Amino acid sequence: MFEVLKRNPLAVIISAGLHAVVVFFMVVGVDWQVMPEKKIRNVEVVQARVVDESLLQTEINKQKEKQQQKKQAEQNRLAEVKRKQNEEKKRLAKLEKERKQQQEAQKKQKQEQKKREAAEKKRLAELENKRKVAEQKAQAAEKKRKQEEAKRLAAEKKRKQAEAKRIAEEKRKKAEQEKLAKEKAAREKAAREKAEREAREREIAEQMAAEAMAREQQSAVNAITGKVQRNWLKPVGTSSDLKCTVNVRLLPSGDIYPGSVSIVKSSGNGAFDRSVEKAIYKSEPLPVPTGRAFDAFRNLTFIFDPID
């Protein structure tokens, strides 16, 4: 009601005025077809002892004049009322037409309002549905995010535990490797020292063996040259200061390979050189060493110097 009053204040005022006029005439009950009758008033006669006739006549005339004025005024009033009634009829007809038009407009407005309200209700319902769907999706996404976060934290915790275990294992392995490295270094050092010691000992032994072999070989060479000198016959007319270098191939028994005696470096005197070759063959078997010392005598080269 208040919303209608706000939207159409003029139509409401006109309608209220029209209803007020109708109610007024219904209450008053004016008959427009019957002329008003002259009302006869019952005049209460006042008895008096002395009456002034001129004053009475004047009063009567005044009363008549008043009655005439009242009658005229009543006629004028009735004419004015009739005129107003005609105008009011026209105004009421116009108001009724405007009211119907206003009602039709209000009806259309209400229908449009209902449509707008229905559309707004539908829009709000769709928005609420979208909001609920979005909220459900957000809740599902949040739940999924929390689950993933929990999984990530669990995986991170597991990774950290594995990392701590790996670091501890690496430390243990490193300590074990360092221990093994130290033990290996100690063993290697000991082995190296032992090898160096053994190498020195072998070197000394080899040196001693080489020296002994050299001594043995030199002794054998001396024995061979001595035996050859003992079997050598100096050629007549040769000088005593001659010497030559001889090569001979020997067997472990001291025997000479046939035809293996040769002069590597001649003395310059053929008779001297041939006498040396004869002395070598005559000295067969030659006194050679045994074992490894013999290897140097398989192909022996020595200087024959009779003076020595």
* pLDDT at residue number 20: 78
Strand partners of residue 300: 248
On whether the pTM is more than 0.75, the answer is: no
Strand partners of residue 4: none
**Rounded distance between C-alpha atoms, residue 109 and residue 102, angstroms:** 10
For range 200-221, the mean pLDDT: 84
Could you read off the pLDDT of 233-271 as tens digits, one per residue? 888 888 778 899 999 999 999 899 888 899 999 999 999
Lowest mean pLDDT among 38-47, 83-92, 162-171, 204-213: 38-47
Residue 72 burial (10 A CB sphere; 0-12, 13-18, 19+) = exposed
Of the chain, the percentage scoring pLDDT greater than 90 comes to 23
- Is 257:284 a contact under the CB 8 Å cutoff? no
Residue 206 pLDDT more than 70? yes
* pLDDT at residue number 2: 60
**Which runs of consecutive H residues, i.e. helices, occur in 232-264?**
none
Nearest residue to 288 (alpha-carbon basis) of 230, 248, 232, 261: 248
What DSSP character marks residue 259? T
Instruction: Count the Cβ atoms, other than its own, within 10 Å of residue 106.
Output: 16
Residue 19 pLDDT more than 70? yes
* Distance in Å from the first CA to the final CA of the chain: 163
* pLDDT at residue number 272: 92
**Rounded distance between C-alpha atoms, residue 236 and residue 135, angstroms:** 140
- Is 287:302 a contact under the CB 8 Å cutoff? no
Q: Rounded to 5 degrees, what are φ and ψ at 302?
A: -145, 160
In degrees, rounded to 5, the angle at the alpha carbon of residue 183 between the alpha carbons of residues 182 and 185 is 60
Lowest mean pLDDT among 40-54, 106-120, 214-228: 40-54
**Rounded distance between C-alpha atoms, residue 140 and residue 134, angstroms:** 10
For range 292-308, the mean pLDDT: 86
User: Which residue do the tokens 């006029």 mark?
Assistant: 21
Mean pLDDT value across the chain = 83
Residue 278 burial (10 A CB sphere; 0-12, 13-18, 19+) = middle
* pLDDT at residue number 138: 60
Residue 144 pLDDT more than 80? yes
Residue 31 pLDDT more than 60? no
- Is 263:183 a contact under the CB 8 Å cutoff? no
* pLDDT at residue number 40: 53
Could you read off the pLDDT of 165-178 as tens digits, one per residue? 898 898 899 978 99
Q: For residue 95, name the pLDDT band (cuts at 50, 70, 90).
A: confident
**Rounded distance between C-alpha atoms, residue 245 and residue 17, angstroms:** 172
Of the chain, the percentage scoring pLDDT greater than 70 comes to 85
For range 269-281, the mean pLDDT: 92
3-state secondary structure of 263: strand
* pLDDT at residue number 278: 94
Please name the fold of domain 232-304: 3.30.1150
* pLDDT at residue number 273: 92
Longest dimension (CA), the chain: 245
Residue 42 pLDDT more than 60? no
Domain extent listing, the chain: 2-26+58-136, 232-304
Q: In whole angstroms, how far apart are CA 49 and each of 18, 53, 54, 58?
A: 58, 13, 16, 19
User: Which residue do the tokens 């080899």 mark?
Assistant: 206
Of residues 295 and 32, which shows the higher confidence score?
A: 295
**Rounded distance between C-alpha atoms, residue 199 and residue 157, angstroms:** 59
Of residues 24 and 279, which shows the higher confidence score?
A: 279
* pLDDT at residue number 274: 93
Could you read off the pLDDT of 59-80 as tens digits, one per residue? 888 899 999 998 999 998 999 9
